[in-house]
């Protein structure tokens, strides 16, 4: 049972940090610049369809490597502390051990020990204290209060799977799968005050968490275009366009894609879950507060359209791009069922009532967008930044790289999905086709709001 | 409801890692005004007598496998409101998982006898660690407490009056080996 509780605990708590995966990268260069990518890989090509027509930089400077191999110093350190042949007895993984700390385990999941932790994520091991009287309940969670989220917490993603197709020139026809889920929990202010501010529980009051969960999936035939629509006519010494001053990549690139979404299935549940205490608090049994409205599709009957658009402008050392996905992507589900699921205190049971059946419902796919810019300043300096939102909050990265021959120095700053500032710095050494990079960055990928600091190392092959 | 509340509590307690769960239970608040906070006594001349009161204490569920580190009465007081006679009065505390069990349980805490005389009120402080022998009882979600007042009368007139509890807070420290 204890194990089950721990599993439930982890399952609940794992939903908390919204930025859990946002900063995970195996590229020490990128991490050393606060998460910004000065190349044309990663988010730029995924979320800006214009970048599908832009060649990736290669060679020196900020060129993207062909392969980046992380050097997992963190794993070496981790397995020294946690030998594989001892894992079954390791307090970290053994819920029956007195040394087991579910927060530490969760931190391990949310912030995998690939790289070396310079400052480990906070895992409070403090006492928690409850004051109980006939009409009194006070919870003092001590340092563990940092685990209580101030804002809506949860997880979600909007992903594309199996993009299969072929193209002719700048045009491309494909069929891709899409999946979108978003689970959010919001503590009502009274419950948050009780847990975070040690405010006494009040009699005749309700304490609850509001849940809003949506999941939908389907397939989407797509027609897309990506190409250079304008190329500058740099003048050569002879006065002819396309001379040596022209950059091969210079120009304006446009990308667009039209999607027709066939929704296979969807479900959405919204409602509070909690309890109402009596008066006095421990004199009357509290009653369950559970009242949810659940929408489900009766079959694969979702339809909708949406579009991706993007533009990239490259002019010598300057590069700017803006792209957005799933614009106007609203699915209409022609046959859905709406049920109310609530706790019945009289029968001490859960009752389900069909409020409506065979009715129409609509859902949306979140708009994802990215805006990026990079400037190579000609003195070995490259600066860049991006603003990115995948539907769960805006992330901003700003970073710079200064090269001195084979050496590089990097730094950056970011604002993560929790609106918390993070910092990065690092350096690298390039020898021919190989580069060794080191990046140190702060992150709040764990339960606690406090920053951890990690040092990443990677080898790049150019 | 219990399951939901328990789950919420366990999530919180599990979150404290290797820390301990501490419960300060204001037992007196459950007894006040119910009549169970008062023990009346009438001790005949040259004899002794006992009287007792029972109280059920509800603790959060789910700690059946927990190790109880300590149980202590941190705040406790009573008034011995003597009406007549001269004698002594002491208290003993017994704990068990049901009311009948308190009759055979070993004493968890003995409060030394206090002299009473005439029509006067004598305050008595109650505090101390409870016997480790009964610690495991506090891992259960229901604990019964019996307070026994033991009086002696070496005089020639009856000793009468009542002992009225005015405060009782029990502090239970658990290593959170949740069920």
Confidence of residue A447 (pLDDT cuts 50, 70, 90): low
Q: A195, B12: Cβ pair inside 8 Å?
A: yes
Using CA coordinates, name the residue in chain B closest to A287. B1
| Residue with the larger pLDDT of the pair A367 and B64 | A367
Backbone angles phi, psi at A85, to 5 degrees: -75, -5
pLDDT (mean) for A51-74:
76
pLDDT (mean) for B97-110:
94
Residue A8 structure tokens: 């439930």
pLDDT at residue A440, as a whole number: 96
User: Of A355, A166, A389, A177, whose CA–CA distance to A270 is shortest?
Assistant: A355
pLDDT at residue A454, as a whole number: 92
Residue B2 has pLDDT above 50, yes or no: no
Confidence of residue A112 (pLDDT cuts 50, 70, 90): confident
pLDDT (mean) for A270-286:
87
pLDDT (mean) for B137-145:
89
pLDDT at residue A458, as a whole number: 94
pLDDT at residue A48, as a whole number: 92
Average per-residue pLDDT for chain B: 86
Q: What is the pLDDT of residues A116-160, one digit of tens each?
A: 989 887 666 678 899 999 899 999 988 778 778 777 777 778 888
In this structure, are residues A288 and A209 in contact, taking their beta carbons and an 8 Å threshold?
A: no
Of A132, A135, A147, the CB nearest to B15: A147
pLDDT (mean) for B14-33:
80
Confidence of residue A450 (pLDDT cuts 50, 70, 90): confident
Residue A52 has pLDDT above 50, yes or no: yes
**What per-residue string of b and e applies to A213-225 under the rule 16 or more CB within 10 Å gives b?**
bbbbbbbbebebb
In this prediction, what percent of chain A has a pLDDT beyond 90? Answer: 49
A10 at interface of B, judged by CB pairs closer than 8 A: no
Using CA coordinates, name the residue in chain A closest to B20. A127
Residue B7 has pLDDT above 70, yes or no: no
User: Of A85, A129, A125, whose CA–CA distance to A105 is shortest?
Assistant: A125
| Residue with the larger pLDDT of the pair A147 and B133 | B133
Which residues are CB-neighbours of A27 under 8 A, at least 6 positions away? A37, A68, A70, A437, A439, A456, A458, A460
Q: B24, A129: Cβ pair inside 8 Å?
A: yes
B24 at interface of A, judged by CB pairs closer than 8 A: yes
Q: B26, A136: Cβ pair inside 8 Å?
A: yes
Q: What is the pLDDT of residues A327-365, one digit of tens each?
A: 999 999 999 999 999 998 888 889 999 999 999 999 999
Q: What is the pLDDT of residues A204-260, one digit of tens each?
A: 999 999 999 999 999 999 999 999 999 886 544 444 444 455 578 899 999 999 999
From CA A201, how far away is CA A222, in angstroms rounded? Answer: 54
Q: What is the pLDDT of residues B115-126, one digit of tens each?
A: 999 999 999 999
pLDDT (mean) for B40-50:
92
The domain total for chain B is 1
- Least confident interval from A104-108, A180-184, A441-445, B31-35: A104-108
Using CA coordinates, name the residue in chain B closest to A350. B1
Which CATH number covers residue B112? 2.60.120
pLDDT at residue A413, as a whole number: 97
Tell me: cis bond preceding A280? Omega within 30 of 0 counts: yes
Residue A290 structure tokens: 């559970």
Chain B CB contacts of A141 below 8 Å:
12, 15-16
| Residue with the larger pLDDT of the pair A385 and A62 | A385
Q: B19, A128: Cβ pair inside 8 Å?
A: yes
pLDDT at residue A98, as a whole number: 64
SS3 of A42, please?
Answer: coil
Q: What is the pLDDT of residues A8-40, one digit of tens each?
A: 444 544 444 443 344 457 889 999 999 888 877
Residue A64 has pLDDT above 60, yes or no: yes
Residue B66 has pLDDT above 90, yes or no: no
Average per-residue pLDDT for chain A: 85
pLDDT at residue A81, as a whole number: 87
The residue ranges of DSSP E strands in A231-250, in sequence order, are: none
Q: Domain limits at B154?
A: 2-175
pLDDT at residue A302, as a whole number: 96
Torsion of CA A170, A171, A176, A178, to 10 degrees: 70
Which residue reads 């007894």 in tokens?
B31
Q: What is the pLDDT of residues A391-441, one digit of tens each?
A: 778 999 999 999 999 999 999 999 988 788 999 999 999 998 899 999 999
Report the relative pairing of strands B20-26 and A128-133 from DSSP bridges: parallel
Interface test with B, best of A129, A209, A273 (most B CBs within 10 A): A129
B 47-66 residues with CB < 8 A to A: 58-60, 62, 65
B11 at interface of A, judged by CB pairs closer than 8 A: yes
Residue A173 has pLDDT above 90, yes or no: yes
Residue A459 has pLDDT above 90, yes or no: yes
Q: Which long-range contacts (CB under 8 A, 24 or more apart) does A426-431 make?
A: A426/A28, A426/A29, A426/A31, A426/A32, A426/A33, A426/A456, A427/A32, A428/A28, A428/A29, A428/A32, A430/A60, A430/A406, A430/A462, A431/A406
Report the relative pairing of strands A381-389 and A394-404 from DSSP bridges: antiparallel
pLDDT at residue A12, as a whole number: 45
From CA B145, how far away is CA B101, in angstroms rounded? Answer: 10
Of B14, B23, B60, the CB nearest to A5: B14
DSSP A389-432: ESSS-EEEEEEEEEEETTEEEEEEEEE-TTS-EEEEEEEEEEET
pLDDT (mean) for B66-86:
93
């Amino acid at each position: 049972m204890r194990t089950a509780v721990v599993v439930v605990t982890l399952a609940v708590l794992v939903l908390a940090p919204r930025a859990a995966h946002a900063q995970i990268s195996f590229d020490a260069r990128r991490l050393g610049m606060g998460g910004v990518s000065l190349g044309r890989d990663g988010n730029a090509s995924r979320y800006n369809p214009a970048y599908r027509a832009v060649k990736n930089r290669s060679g020196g400077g900020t060129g993207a490597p062909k392969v980046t191999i992380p050097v997992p110093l963190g794993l070496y350190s981790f397995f020294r502390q946690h030998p594989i042949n001892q894992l079954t007895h390791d307090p970290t993984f053994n819920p029956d051990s007195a040394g087991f700390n579910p927060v530490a385990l969760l931190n391990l999941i949310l912030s995998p020990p690939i790289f070396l932790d310079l400052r480990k994520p906070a895992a409070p091991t403090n006492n928690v204290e409850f004051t109980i009287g006939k009409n009194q309940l006070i919870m003092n969670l001590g340092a563990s209060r940092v685990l209580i989220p101030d804002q809506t917490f949860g997880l979600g993603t909007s992903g594309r799977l199996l993009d299969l197709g072929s193209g002719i020139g700048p045009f491309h026809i494909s069929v891709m799968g899409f999946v979108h889920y978003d689970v959010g929990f919001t503590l009502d202010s009274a419950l948050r005050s009780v847990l975070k501010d040690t405010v006494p529980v009040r009699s005749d009051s309700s304490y609850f968490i509001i849940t809003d969960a949506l999941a939908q999936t389907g397939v989407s035939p797509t027609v897309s275009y990506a190409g250079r629509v304008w190329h500058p006519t740099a003048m050569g010494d002879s006065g002819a366009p396309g001379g040596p001053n022209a950059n091969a990549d210079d120009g304006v690139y446009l990308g667009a894609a039209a999607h027709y979404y066939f929704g296979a299935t969807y479900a959405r549940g919204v409602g509070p879950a909690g309890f109402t205490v009596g008066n006095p608090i421990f004199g009357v049994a509290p009653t369950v507060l559970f009242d949810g409205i659940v929408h489900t599709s009766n079959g694969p009957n979702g339809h909708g359209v949406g579009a991706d658009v993007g533009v990239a402008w490259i002019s010598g050392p300057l590069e700017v791009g803006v792209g957005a996905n799933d614009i106007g992507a609203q699915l209409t589900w022609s046959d859905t069922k709406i049920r109310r699921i609530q706790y019945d205190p009289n029968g001490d049971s859960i009752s389900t009532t069909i409020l409506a059946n065979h009715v129409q419902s609509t859902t949306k796919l979140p708009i994802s967008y990215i805006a990026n810019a990079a400037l190579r300043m000609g003195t070995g300096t490259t600066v860049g930044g991006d603003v990115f939102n995948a539907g769960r909050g805006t992330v901003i990265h700003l970073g710079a790289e200064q090269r001195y021959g084979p050496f590089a120095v990097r730094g950056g700053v970011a604002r993560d999905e929790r609106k918390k500032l993070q910092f990065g710095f690092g350096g690298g050494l390039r020898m021919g086709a190989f580069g060794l990079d080191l990046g140190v960055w702060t992150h709040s990928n764990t339960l606690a709001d406090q920053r951890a600091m990690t040092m990443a190392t990677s080898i790049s092959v150019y | 409801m219990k399951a939901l509340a328990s789950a919420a509590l366990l999530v919180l307690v599990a979150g404290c890692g290797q820390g301990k769960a501490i419960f300060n239970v204001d037992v007196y608040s459950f007894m006040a005004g119910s009549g169970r906070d008062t023990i009346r006594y009438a001790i005949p001349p040259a004899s002794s007598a006992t009287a007792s009161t029972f109280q059920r204490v509800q603790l959060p569920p789910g700690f059946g496998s927990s190790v109880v580190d300590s149980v202590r009465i941190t705040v406790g007081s009573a008034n011995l409101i003597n009406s007549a006679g001269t004698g002594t009065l002491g208290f003993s505390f017994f704990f068990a998982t049901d009311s009948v069990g308190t009759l055979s349980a070993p004493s968890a805490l003995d409060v030394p006898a206090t002299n009473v005389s005439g029509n006067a009120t004598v305050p008595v402080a109650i505090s101390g660690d409870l016997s480790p022998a009964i610690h495991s009882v506090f891992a259960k979600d229901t604990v019964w407490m019996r307070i026994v007042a033991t009086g002696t009368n070496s005089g020639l007139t009856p000793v009468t009056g009542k002992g009225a509890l005015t405060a009782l807070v029990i502090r239970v420290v658990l290593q959170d080996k949740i069920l």
